[in-house]
Amino acid sequence: MKYHALPLRPMQESGAFLLRALQNEETPLLDLLVRESIQNALDAGRSGNQELPVTVNFHIREHSVDAIASTFSEGLDLQTLRARYVRTPKLLEIRDSGTEGLTGPMTFDNVEANGQHGNFLKLVFEIGRTRADDAAGGSWGLGKTCYFRMGAGLVIYYSRIKAADGYEERLVASLVEDESHVDRLQRTTQTGIAWWGAEHSMQAITAPNHIHEILKTLGAQPFTGTATGTAIIIPLLKENLLPVFDEEGRPAPWWYSSCEDYVNVAIQRWFSARLDNPFFASGRYLRALVNDAEITSADMLPIFRVNQCLYDRAAAEFPAQEDYLTAIGVKSDDALCKFINLRGEFVGNGPAGWLLAVALTPRQLQMDAPDNVPSPETCVFSKSDSGVPHRPLVTFMRSAGMNICWDDSIDSRSWAGGFAGFTDGRYLVALFLPDSEQELLPSAARGLRSNVQNLEGYLRSCERADHAAWVDVNGGRVVEKIRAQCGRALKDFGLPVQPSVTVKPSMRMSRKLAELVLPSRGYGGDGRFGKAAPRAASGQGSGSGSGSRGVAVPSPELEITDVRYTVSAIVMKWCLRWGMLRPSSPREITVSVDSEAGPITFSSWLDSELGVFPFRLGLPQIDTALPAVECKEIAEGSGIRLIVDAEAVQIGLLVTGELQIRMTEFGGKLLRPVVGVRISDSSGGKE
Partner 1 sequence: MSTRLPLYRMLNAPLGLEDESELDYVFRSHEGIDPGATALSNGQYTLGKNSDWNPAEHPLTVQCLIERTQLLEVIFGPGGVANTDAKVFLALEWASADSCWRTLGPVYGLWNVEGKSVVLDIELGAGTIRGSGLLSIQAFLGQQSADLIPGFAHQPGARLGPLAYPIDIVIDGDGSLFPVLEESLGVEGPLWELKACWSDPQDEPFSSDYVALVLNSTHPHFELLRDRRTLNSEQSPLMRQVFATWLSLVIFQVKKDMGADFDTYLGAPDADEGIASIADAVRSFIRLGDLNTSALPELFVSTQCWLDRRVREVESAA
Cα–Cα distance between 397 and 389 in angstroms, integer?
26
Omega before residue 370 within 30° of 0, cis: yes
Residue 357 CB, nearest distance to partner 1 (Å)?
Answer: 16
Pairing of strands 393-397, 427-434: parallel
- How many CB atoms lie under 10 A from the CB of residue 8? 12
Q: What is the DSSP letter of 125?
A: I
Q: 453 vs 485, which CB is nearer to partner 1?
A: 485
**Least distance from partner 1 to the Cβ atom of residue 485, Å:** 7
DSSP assignment of 542-578, as one string? Answer: S---TT-TTS--SS-EEEEEEEEEETTEEEEEEEEE-
Helix 259-271 vs helix 29-44: crossing angle, to nearest 10: 60
The minimum distance between CB 471 and partner 1, in angstroms, equals 15
Q: Which is nearer to partner 1, 71 or 485 (CB)?
A: 485
Minimum distance of partner 1 from residue 394's CB (angstroms): 15
Q: For residues 379 and 478, which CB has a smaller minimum distance to partner 1 in the complex?
A: 478
Question: Which residues are 335's β-sheet partners?
Answer: 358
Taking the least distance from each CB to partner 1, the nearer of 259 and 600 is 600
Q: How far is the CB of 567 from partner 1 (least distance, A)?
A: 5
Comparing CB distances to partner 1, the nearer of 233 and 642 is 642
- b/e map of 193-221 (b: 16 or more CB within 10 Å)? bbbbbbeeebbbbbeeeebeebbeebebe
Dist CA 416 CA 408 (whole Å):
8
Q: Which is nearer to partner 1, 114 or 542 (CB)?
A: 542
If DSSP codes are grouped into helix, strand and coil, which group holds residue 84? helix
Cis before 389 (ω within 30): yes
Say if residues 636 and 605 touch (Cβ distance below 8 Å). no
* 162 versus 564: smaller Cβ distance to partner 1: 564
CB of 150 to partner 1, least distance (A): 41
Instruction: Give the shortest CB-556-to-partner 1 separation in angstroms.
Output: 8
Q: Which residues bind partner 1 (CB under 8 A)?
A: 343, 412-413, 417, 480-481, 484-485, 487-488, 500, 502-533, 535-536, 555, 557-560, 563-567, 570, 572, 592, 594, 599, 661, 669-670, 672-677, 687
Instruction: Determine which helix (DSSP H) or strand (DSSP E) holds 47, and give its type and residue range.
Output: none
Judged by CB, which is closer to partner 1: 131, or 577? 577
* Identity at 216, one-letter amino acid code: K
Contact status, residue 308 vs residue 277, Cβ threshold 8 Å: yes
Residue 527: CB minimum distance to partner 1, A? 4
